[in-house]
Structure 1
Amino acid sequence: MTRPRLLPEPVGLKFVTMERPPDWDAEFGYTGPLELEIGSGAGGHALEYCRRNPGVRFVAFEWRKKYARDTQARADKAGLRNLRVIEADARFVVPRIFEANSLAVVHLQFPDPWWKRSHAKRAVIQPAFAQLLLEKLAPGGRFDMRTDVQDRGEAMLAILESVGFQNPLGSGVFHPYEPEEVPSTRERRYLASGEPVYRARLVKPG
């Protein structure tokens, strides 16, 4: 995959400095389910998901400026009015820009596994942030997680279930692949090669 060049214009910075949630109806110009993606990477999942689901309002966080700016530029070029990309660390902005019980879905696609034990604290799914995401989801809302590292997937599942997410298949159980899912750029490679992907579709009890 060719890495995007760094486009000159930052994306989503107005949200980074907000101290309270914006009027998302006004921001998108329509009402509909509000969804969050943490770490949208090269944007493959966000762009295709928004193309397939034009009624969804999709907010994607990506801290790498090249990927964030390239994804928003591609969305604009494709006429996708339902995607907003924010170049920032979601952990520091999500608490301020989403109301409690406002999100329909949280997507987490292949987060960095942080192999070194000393770096484990950098992992996005920690108990406090998992609890916050649960609070931001509406009752019945879904947490869609995918990773290619089994032990990291097991650790994230354990944390998410411990704070109150419900696993419809049972504690610690990964979910099978469903053809209607929208794969990320990385997942498409794994689907072609047959390498395993560990998935979970957890729910906030309603």
Structure 2
Amino acid sequence: MTDNIELTHQQERAFQPQRLSAPRDFILPSIIGENKNNLPLLLEIGAGKGKHALGFAVRNADKHLIAIERTRNKFEAFAKLAAIQASPNLDAIHADAIAWTVHAIKPNSLAKIFILYPNPEQHNPNQQWLNMPFFEFLLSRLQVNGEVILVTNIEAYMDNAERQATKVWCLPNTRYTVATDSQRTHFEVKYLARGETCWELNMRKPEGYKTRFDEWQVGHISEDK
């Protein structure tokens, strides 16, 4: 793909980040402004009880993961385990991922984004991640050649995500079948133990990719270096 890629969806309704207030008790993680070791920054949306995030932090000391969970009881379980593990390369965040990302993440700063077993929103497909205007904003936070990893056990969800990634978001992508012995999340363990098929979609942001939010950020992170 070449410079000045024009996204199909840019003719559609745009996400409006300026309308979102910061989450309650919002605190900017120190890694956002003080990444002294220049670690690759990764984001997990919908971390649940933290199985993937905790394991990833242990196996990848050379990367820093910010893992967000909105549901209180799941986050509290995650936070307890994170406190015990005390990995310096993991931030556990209790917040709505959309508002938090708008107020915390700089443009072109994420090496990878994990969306593992999201709510399939079968009765409200407009809320599926790749159907949302917010997805354009999320891509603006991703570095060139950065990746979005989406995993689901719902074939229709994956079919739509693959179609949207290709036709709307113009992202090079590859679809995989998850190995039967994979154990990244509690959902993954459960689904595979029941003999269900799980799918992974790996999407990459190519050189020259443009969004309408490549220069947009809120004031409290605009002066951070």
Category of TM-score, reference length = shorter chain: 0.7 to 0.9
| Structure 1 pair 181–140 and aligned structure 2 pair: CA distance change class (3 A) | farther
Q: Which runs of 4+ in 1 moved over 4 A?
A: 178-182
What is residue 194 of structure 1 aligned with on the other side?
A: 195
Matches within 5 A, 1:42-53: 42-53=49-60
Contact 1:61–1:90 (Cα < 8 Å) also in 2: yes
Matched, 1:74 2:81: yes
SS in 2 for 1:49: helix
Q: Cα distance, 1:163 vs. partner?
A: 1.6
- For residues 49-83 of structure 1, the C-alpha deviation after alignment (integer angstroms, 9 at most, x for no partner) is 11111121111111101211221221120121111
Aligned-partner residue type, residue 32 of structure 2: W
Distance 2:139 2:155 in 1: 23
Matched, 1:24 2:32: yes
Matched, 1:148 2:153: yes
Distance 1:204 1:180 in 2: 29
SS in 2 for 1:14: coil
Matched, 1:166 2:167: no
What is residue 7 of structure 1 aligned with on the other side?
A: none
Distance 1:105 1:178 in 2: 21
TM-score normalised per structure 1: 0.78
TM-score normalised per structure 2: 0.72
| Structure 1 pair 13–182 and aligned structure 2 pair: CA distance change class (3 A) | farther
- For residues 93-128 of structure 1, the C-alpha deviation after alignment (integer angstroms, 9 at most, x for no partner) is 212211111000000011111222xx3333333341
Unaligned stretches of 5+ in structure 1? 1-11
Distance 1:101 1:38 in 2: 17
What is residue 6 of structure 1 aligned with on the other side?
A: none
| Structure 1 pair 179–113 and aligned structure 2 pair: CA distance change class (3 A) | closer
Contact 2:182–2:189 (Cα < 8 Å) also in 1: no
What is the percentage of aligned positions where both structures have the same residue? 24
CA RMSD of aligned residues (A): 2.6
Q: Cα distance, 1:24 vs. partner?
A: 1.9
Where relative contact order (Cα < 8 A, 6+ residues apart) is larger, the structure is: 2
Contact 1:101–1:138 (Cα < 8 Å) also in 2: yes
Matches within 5 A, 1:61-140: 61-116=68-123, 119-140=124-145
- For residues 153-193 of structure 1, the C-alpha deviation after alignment (integer angstroms, 9 at most, x for no partner) is 122222233223211x4xxxx21336997611111223333
| Structure 1 pair 180–66 and aligned structure 2 pair: CA distance change class (3 A) | same
User: Based on CA coordinates, which of the two structures has the bigger radius of gyration?
Assistant: 2
Unaligned stretches of 5+ in structure 2? 1-23, 208-225
Distance 2:61 2:182 in 1: 16
